[in-house]
Structure 1
Amino acid sequence: MFRASGKGSIWVALIVVLLLLSGCGAGGAGKSANSGEATGTDKGTTDTQGATSTDSVRTIEHVLGKTEIKGTPKRIVTLYNGATDVMIAYGVKPVGIVEASGTEPVYDYLKKDLEGIPTVGLETQPNMEEIYKLKPDVILASKFRNEATYQQLSEIAPTVAVDQLYEWKDTVKLIGQVLNQEDKGTQLLADWDQRVADFKTKMGDRLPIKASIVNFRADHARIYYMGFAGQILKELGFTRPPAQEGDKWGIKVNSKESIPDMNADTLFVFNSGKDQAAIEKNVEAWTSHPLWKNLDAYKKKSIFKVDEVNWNLAGGYLSANRMLDDLYKLYDLKS
């Protein structure tokens, strides 16, 4: 990875000039063809329009450095889906978000809360001009996605970052600092810990269960190790096959001879991609193979199809709880 050079300052200055010339200055912030400002608020959600509430300056340390933040930010742009999810968990609407990964620009479970919120491009390629138009007080980023453009983002607004997208608890803590709501962040995590304990108690001696997470695409399969779902499964008392231990996200497999690498007592399976016909054809090719039928999970009838958004894409506090909801249902537990 690399950091942006001093050219970032020139680049941002050019944006300012262009915006002024096109009438998109202070009077038109956040109002473009696809990014009008949010209107109204939902019950229990704080409107993020307006100035900061105090003039005090705080310094927040994060993976990409130290950032000074003035007062309590009201206008926050989120550059990864997990941050958007966690903002809503805090009851605060961002003024701008990146498009959701997958087939829809906003995940279904967040549509009501994010209605009218403008998007600023893809998580993999946010639009700097659209971010600038929104005049954010703070930008929430990640080292994984935004390290190379961190300097440019910081010239638009104070920018703080987590390391990895799937480290959702780090996102909860960081946003608690940004919003001056660290007590609420502590409570959110305590509520999660209580649910984890409840799940483990109700599962009883069924745990530990050795599990694999398998993902089918249109032209290959993947085995996920310690990403978002992998971390949660480990916390809940599931174990992983020895070859799947470690910090690596997982592996991409093209040959069906790799099916034995998926072997576990339970398989959690989700599909990814827009070409549904090609994906289903690929799933059929893999799951009809003799090696698939030799998997322990197949023999035990313990293969579960799960939701890609909850288990992989959304990456936040609310989606972690939705994944846990899925597990309560799969194992016939009362939540």
Structure 2
Amino acid sequence: MAIAMILCLPLASAQARTLETAFGEVTLNGEARRVVTLYEGALDTALAAGVTPVGAVTTRGGDGVARYLDDYLDDIAIVGVVREINIEAVLMQRPDLILATPLISSEQYALLSRIAPTVVPATDGFSPDAWKDEARLFAQALDREEEVEAAIADVEARAAELASALAEHEVDNDVVLVRWMPQGPMVMSTQIFASGLLDAAGLEVNDSGLVREGAGHSDPLSLENLSQVDRDWLFLATLNEEGREALDAARRSPAFDRLNVVQNERVIPVDGQLWSSASGPLAAQAILDQLEAALLP
């Protein structure tokens, strides 16, 4: 059946609400029964709110959703990758609500909104706290504002508690987050989701001036320039097996071995799907869990 002939499925009857989105006002009624998420932060928020979507896109560097969500999902239909949505696959899930990425094009939005009401956050560039505004918008769409507001408050309280604990133990606080790719290491921006959590936990995130304004990460560094990421703590993220193999090779190089952070055994391996790609309340708690385990005695 052609998309042009598809009528948007009605939501369960309840009080109407109007959402301000990147593509204008979207009016919804009640609670959606079949939700498709086209954004990692939307999937995370839905699960945190107690809603299990019927479809999602893959995480970066993987062929399914992010590993940190394994405990929250048994199975879910894959309807595309982060930058390439399969419109027909979305249609097959018969959604009555679509939660989309801020990066969606107007052409994609036009197609999706003919299938079901489509909610797109009006996020402008990178901001470490943008995930909260996005989560609140998705919560409105899901009619689960109370649950999501509580989840955000829990994250904020947990980060503040961790900041106090790190200060009490006088933990060195100069940190850098690096994603290691086959072409080399990339310093992650101080404005991304994970960096915002590190900052909320009382740590000073440093990109060594290598990340251009508005970019999510630096250009790949050569091994000879690794001294630029020599901080008190190095959080080292890999997305997939290729990244891990490249990192293993780098670890055998003298340039890597001579870093003070390596000599002091303060390199913390982390999951790049979580630390450099995810967002949302569940991702935040998972990062804070790993941060606490790594830095506190």
Fold match by TM threshold 0.5: yes
Residue 262 of structure 1 aligns with which residue?
229
Residue 301 of structure 1 aligns with which residue?
265
Figure out how many residues of one structure are paired with residues of the other and give that number: 288
Deviation at 1:289, TM superposition (A): 4.1
| Counterpart contact for 1:57–1:71, Cα < 8 Å | yes
List per-residue Cα deviations over 1:249-272 (Å, max 9, x = no partner).
121224223212212111000223
- Normalising to structure 1: TM-score of the pair? 0.76
> In the superposition, relative to structure 1, how do residues 201 and 249 fare at CA in structure 2: closer, same or farther (>3 Å)?
same
Alignment of 1:1-335 (within 5 A): 12-13=3-4, 52-111=11-70, 113-162=72-121, 163=123, 167-205=130-168, 206=170, 209-225=173-189, 226-241=191-206, 242-243=208-209, 248-275=215-242, 279-280=244-245, 282-332=246-296
The residue type paired with residue 273 of structure 1 is: N
Deviation at 1:300, TM superposition (A): 2.8
Using the aligned pairs only, state the percent identity.
Answer: 27
Residue 40 of structure 1 aligns with which residue?
none
| Counterpart contact for 1:293–1:299, Cα < 8 Å | yes
List per-residue Cα deviations over 1:74-100 (Å, max 9, x = no partner).
221100122111111111111221233
Residue 5 of structure 1 aligns with which residue?
none
> In the superposition, relative to structure 1, how do residues 111 and 307 fare at CA in structure 2: closer, same or farther (>3 Å)?
closer
Deviation at 1:240, TM superposition (A): 2.7
The residue type paired with residue 183 of structure 2 is: D
Greater relative contact order, per chain length (Cα 8 Å cut-off, separation 6+)? 2
Deviation at 1:178, TM superposition (A): 1.0
| Counterpart contact for 1:77–1:96, Cα < 8 Å | yes
CA distance in 1, matches of 2:265, 2:3: 57
Q: 5+ unaligned residues in a row in structure 2: which ranges?
A: none
Query: Helix, strand or coil for the counterpart of 2:19?
Result: strand
CA distance in 2, matches of 1:115, 1:146: 30
User: CA RMSD, aligned part only?
Assistant: 2.8
Deviation at 1:168, TM superposition (A): 2.5
- Normalising to structure 2: TM-score of the pair? 0.85
> In the superposition, relative to structure 1, how do residues 51 and 66 fare at CA in structure 2: closer, same or farther (>3 Å)?
closer
